[in-house]
Amino acid sequence: MKQKQSGIHGKAVPVSLCGCLVVKSFEVPPMNVLLLGRGKTGSQVAEVAAERKHHIRIAGSKENRDAAALTRQELTGIDTVIDFTAPHCALTHIEACVKAGKNMVVGTTGWYKELNQVRGLVEKQGTGFLYAANFSLGINIFFEMARAAASALRHQYSGQIFERHHVHKKDAPSGTALALQQMMRESSGTREPLEITSFREGDVVGLHEVVLESSADRIYLCHDAKSRRGFAEGAVLAAEWLSGKKGFYDFKDIWREL
């Protein structure tokens, strides 16, 4: 089977035709993207987006003080806003963008207690919204492995989650670790969540481990991010996927479509 791709934005989409698998290609046109955040991940997002021929405008903390860059006037001509900032300002950014009618991709974590509130606002305003604890395709494959391994918790295995990040990371446990904890509890059907141990050291990009242990053996799963490139690529692909769509989405539910 051949997969044809059209241009740098081409995506191969399998469709059924007379019992055969045929690949249909479509293109995502260049978007006008406002990137919130000038940190290490944000810089990688800007680089990836530019490589994929999107037009990027960046607003750091100075330009976006009190959401000054997120008024309707300032957002004129912007197709999508991508947020990689900090937990304390993420909710303000989300409310401003959604009320301005702009689609949004959010990689900032630490605001999930307000998830239902944001979902209601997105549905009311009729915008497109996509968030993730982690936009890495690799970590989402790791989630699938951990989901399968969670069945061990029904067979006299104990478990723990360990996560390591750089010393500048604001939240602990990480959003990824919390998502992993919730997913494994739901998959195993157990009441007690796995304990999370967090470490903040050096310039560690992100390392997540799951250890499941019985008297007979040990199951060890690990995802170690070597750079922030994976997060950035996933976020830009997510923005492309969201283009023209409305609704509230979690990246872990749509990443297979990329």
Interatomic CA distance for residues 194 and 27, integer angstroms: 42
> How far, CA to CA in Å, does 124 sit from each of 35, 95, 181?
24, 12, 30
> Helix or strand or coil: residue 190?
coil
Encode 109-130: b = buried (16+ Cβ within 10 Å), e = exposed: bbbbeeeeebeebbeebebbbb
Q: Beta strands 128-131 and 158-165: pairing type?
A: unpaired
Q: Which of 40, 55, 169, 246 is catalytic?
A: 169
For residue 194, the 8-state DSSP code is: P
169 is known as an active-site residue: yes
- Of 196, 197, 133, 203, give the one whose Cα is nearest residue 167: 203
Helix 229-242 / helix 137-149 crossing angle, nearest 10 deg:
90
Both structure tokens of 201: 């050291």
Catalogue the E-assigned strands of the chain.
Answer: 11-17, 20-26, 32-36, 55-59, 80-83, 103-106, 128-131, 158-165, 195-200, 206-213, 218-225, 247-250
- Residues paired with 206 in a beta bridge: 225
Q: Which of 165, 208, 223, 252 is catalytic?
A: 165
2 is known as an active-site residue: no
Interatomic CA distance for residues 21 and 23, integer angstroms: 7
Known catalytic residues are: 165, 169
